[in-house]
Amino acid sequence: MNPVNVLRPGAGLLLKLTDMAQQKKNKTENAGARSPLPSFRKRYDEAEANREKLIARLSNLSTVAAQHPGYRRAQKLLNDAFRQNSLTQRVAILQAAAWLIDVLEQVTLSI
């Protein structure tokens, strides 16, 4: 894509014009280089598998951790909030639940 320099008479301005057809062609060539997202079903199944792993981690915590308010919040994240949101938001919910479970594990280790 080679810009063309244009000098406007009387104005003393130098404008650079780009061939838009060439620019559009370059964009379509580059778009094919991106890797496509996995299918919806695959992403859905991965989110469900991650949820099951986090539920197992949560249930393996001690009884001391089960009395912590964060334990109930992690359960709400993995059940109610997870089910009520879209697939994209579910990934963020799983990250938040994983962080909360990490914190609970650290808290129960220090007790």
Q: Strand, coil or helix: what is 80?
A: helix
pTM: 0.67
Give backbone dihedrals phi and psi of 17, rounded to 5 degrees, phi first.
Answer: -105, 140
Q: What angle do CA 62, 94, 88 make, to 5 degrees?
A: 170
Lowest mean pLDDT among 20-29, 45-54, 57-66: 20-29
Name the region of 88 (left: φ>0; alpha: ψ -120 to 50; beta: rest).
alpha
Enumerate long-range contacts of 89-98, CB under 8 Å, 24 or more apart: 90/47, 90/51, 91/47, 94/47, 94/50, 94/51, 94/54, 97/54, 97/58, 98/54
Q: Which amino acid is at 72?
A: R
**Predicted confidence band at 37 (pLDDT cuts at 50, 70, 90)?**
confident
What are the pLDDT digits (tens) for 40-50?
A: 999 999 999 99
